Structure 1
Amino acid sequence: MKRIAWPGLLWATAMSSLLVTGARAQTPAGYDVVNASFACQNTTCDAEMWLPKGVNKPPVIVMAHGFGALKDWGLKPFAQRFVQAGFAVVRFDYRGFGKSGGQPRLVVNGKEHVKDWVSAIDAIKARPEVDGNRLGIWGSSYSGGQVLVAAAERPGVVKAVSSQVPFVSGLQSALKFPITKLPLANWLALKDMLRSDSEQPVYVPIIAKEGEMAALICPECEKGYAQLVPPGGHNQVAARVFLTLPFWFPGHSADKVEAPTLVIAAENDGLIPVSGVRDTAAKLKKGEYVELKGADHFSPYAGPLFEQVVGKQTAFFKKNL
């Protein structure tokens, strides 16, 4: 595993800016958007493909969001940078979210989300508009762990993996949840798991004000997550996540990933212990690890750190796709 400290990240950012600038000079401005929805588990996942104008059969990057989120929540700035650099970009929503099919709605389940990832990879690889032999995947937070599992399940197909502030261990993350909230969380989860697929789940807020019950509780959670949600966006997920999340360990797939993998972690992540991310990155066969000093879980999505992170990710995809 190659580890890059803060000074190294600054250097890499400068270099990637040159690469992106060069790509913009060669790529006509703008992109076309086409429907890229695909079949998965007897329903359809909603997806869109951005195609850079003037580029014939570009390499493609598949993206999906993290915990309870939709493809339109904060991913556009990343997608824009990638498409400006000459990549096709596909953003999709999991079953039960957004315009995707599937019942029940708003159920966060990592193992089920991975099935959506694998279906997306298979479908996009076969699309005639892109070069399916140069396919990368990008995930963040909860999906940052999912991309590790999906890459392990599609060796030889996935050629590059970008994993941002990744969820790697359900137990480690669960241990950060306030112990005073556990009795209520377990009660709500049990009630929800007794519902049939045709019934509406028992929902809990994704974020809430300090002291209130929510699925995500950390110092930066309320403000950081809220910045990603557009007006009218939902703020709830099925409560069963409290009983499924602690028993999922996507980091265990790290040593099975064949593709080059970039892991970007946040030193002061309030949701995901950075020590677990370091350990996971160390198991990658072709891993590159960047730790953002002083950053919290939501720092990569905006501000100065966004520029550094997206620059590094763009350079990584250009090198490997």
Structure 2
Amino acid sequence: MNRSPMSTSAESVELRFSSGDSWCAATFYRPVRRGPCPVIVMAHGVGGVKAMRLPAFAERFARAGYACFVFDYRHLGESGGEPRQLVDISRQLEDWKAAMACARAQPEVLPSKLILWGTSFSGGHVLSVAADTPDVAAVVSQCPFTDGLASSLALDFATSIKVSALAILDRVGSWLGRQPVHVALAAPPGQTALMNAPDAFTGFRALHPAGSHIPDYIAARFALDIVRYHPGRRTRDIKAPVLFCVCETDSVAPAKATLRHAARAPHKEIKRYAEGHFEIYLGAAFERAVADQLTFLQRVVPVR
């Protein structure tokens, strides 16, 4: 367990917790002030790791009095699990539930005041997990993946065919015990990747910390699963209040599908941003989004 000072009002601690057949790495951000507080559980999107701009959100929340439990999924980042760079939806949902249990066990938090925060692909995961967990206090779903078909159609036809071929090759190879066949997460337009919209490559790279060497590819078999994943369909089952932060020009998780699913949530607030999928993590868009998220959280799960 490593502690590092973050500011005069918060500090961070590195943790590990068990999940399924391996373990996940987490950073626990906590306010310095004494007394138990609400806790926000956070993770990234497809192939993303906690170092990719999530500390900026967690530090802001911690300074406002919320503990934050930010984790990497198995097979990615600082977590365990083989093969590396595997993105498996069911395993990631298991990781969310294990992370929630570990976060609730921290002595500094109020277990009944647990908040889920997800972005991009994890913005869909938090909807699915919240629908299965009635005692979640609140949910923040930022530029969320809600509809597998809508996101798959965001790729051009030629790229879809190439990615599908890699995915089939990887899935068959996994049955035969072979090493994964990889596909790039982001690339310039016309190149083969899960995301190749004009803003995808530079936007994705902008999330990497300076000097980092985070892999920019995953096992291609994921492409066969994404089209069948529709976490937005679970919104009507969520009992907690949900804040949807929707990017109107989103090239990865189309806003039209997200807004349709968000409208079905019983207790929702929807904030819309003119920026694209990757812009919300940085600069003025980040400032607006994090301010809106704090306003929402301070209203529905106030820090006492």
Contact residue 55 and residue 86 of structure 1 kept, 8 A? no
Spell out, residue by residue over 1:251-286, the C-alpha distance to the aligned partner (whole angstroms, 9 max, x if none): 011011111100010111111221111111111011
Aligned match of 2:156: 178
1:64 Cα deviation from its structure 2 partner: 0.3
Aligned match of 1:241: 222
Give the secondary-structure state (helix, strand or coil) at the position aligned to 2:245: strand
Aligned length: 292
Aligned match of 1:266: 247
Contact residue 47 and residue 91 of structure 1 kept, 8 A? yes
How do 1:155-170 residues align onto structure 2 when only pairs under 5 Å count?
Answer: 155-156=134-135, 158-170=136-148
TM-score w.r.t. length of structure 1: 0.87
Aligned match of 2:116: 137
Question: Does 1:304 find its partner at 2:257?
Answer: no
Q: Following the alignment from structure 1 to structure 2, what is the Cα–Cα distance between the partners of residues 250 and 217?
A: 23
Aligned match of 1:121: 100
Q: Following the alignment from structure 2 to structure 1, what is the Cα–Cα distance between the partners of residues 178 and 137?
A: 40
1:130 Cα deviation from its structure 2 partner: 1.1
Give the secondary-structure state (helix, strand or coil) at the position aligned to 1:196: helix
Q: Following the alignment from structure 2 to structure 1, what is the Cα–Cα distance between the partners of residues 71 and 300?
A: 22
Q: Following the alignment from structure 2 to structure 1, what is the Cα–Cα distance between the partners of residues 90 and 125?
A: 8
Q: Following the alignment from structure 1 to structure 2, what is the Cα–Cα distance between the partners of residues 33 and 137?
A: 19
Q: Partner amino acid for 2:89?
A: G
Q: Following the alignment from structure 1 to structure 2, what is the Cα–Cα distance between the partners of residues 166 and 186?
A: 23
Aligned match of 1:21: none
Q: Following the alignment from structure 2 to structure 1, what is the Cα–Cα distance between the partners of residues 41 and 154?
A: 30
Give the secondary-structure state (helix, strand or coil) at the position aligned to 1:44: strand
TM-score w.r.t. length of structure 2: 0.92
Aligned match of 1:208: 187
Spell out, residue by residue over 1:278-307, the C-alpha distance to the aligned partner (whole angstroms, 9 max, x if none): 111111011101111x31111211111111
Contact residue 118 and residue 153 of structure 1 kept, 8 A? no
1:216 Cα deviation from its structure 2 partner: 1.1
Contact residue 45 and residue 120 of structure 2 kept, 8 A? yes
Contact residue 188 and residue 197 of structure 2 kept, 8 A? no
Give the secondary-structure state (helix, strand or coil) at the position aligned to 1:259: coil
Question: Does 1:147 find its partner at 2:129?
Answer: no
Q: Partner amino acid for 1:30?
A: S
Q: Partner amino acid for 2:300?
A: N
1:50 Cα deviation from its structure 2 partner: 1.0
Give the secondary-structure state (helix, strand or coil) at the position aligned to 1:289: strand
Question: Does 1:278 find its partner at 2:259?
Answer: yes
Aligned match of 2:297: 317
Q: Following the alignment from structure 1 to structure 2, what is the Cα–Cα distance between the partners of residues 190 and 258?
A: 38
How do 1:65-76 residues align onto structure 2 when only pairs under 5 Å count?
Answer: 65-76=44-55
Q: Partner amino acid for 1:287?
A: K
1:188 Cα deviation from its structure 2 partner: 0.8
Q: Following the alignment from structure 1 to structure 2, what is the Cα–Cα distance between the partners of residues 255 and 137?
A: 17
Please say which of residues 34-43 and 67-76 is displaced more in the overlay: 34-43
Aligned match of 2:41: 62
1:199 Cα deviation from its structure 2 partner: 4.0
Structure number with higher strand proportion: 2
Q: Partner amino acid for 2:266?
A: K
RMSD: 1.5
Q: Following the alignment from structure 1 to structure 2, what is the Cα–Cα distance between the partners of residues 281 and 60?
A: 24
Unaligned runs of 5+ in 2: 1-6
Aligned match of 1:192: 170
Aligned match of 1:48: 27
Q: Partner amino acid for 1:173?
A: S
Q: Partner amino acid for 1:247?
A: R
Unaligned runs of 5+ in 1: 1-27
Q: Following the alignment from structure 1 to structure 2, what is the Cα–Cα distance between the partners of residues 118 and 303?
A: 32
1:312 Cα deviation from its structure 2 partner: 0.8
Q: Following the alignment from structure 1 to structure 2, what is the Cα–Cα distance between the partners of residues 140 and 254?
A: 16
Contact residue 10 and residue 59 of structure 2 kept, 8 A? no
Q: Percent identity?
A: 35
Please say which of residues 223-232 and 101-110 is displaced more in the overlay: 101-110
Aligned match of 2:4: none
Aligned match of 2:61: 82
Q: Following the alignment from structure 2 to structure 1, what is the Cα–Cα distance between the partners of residues 112 and 81?
A: 30
Q: Following the alignment from structure 2 to structure 1, what is the Cα–Cα distance between the partners of residues 132 and 99?
A: 13
1:35 Cα deviation from its structure 2 partner: 3.2
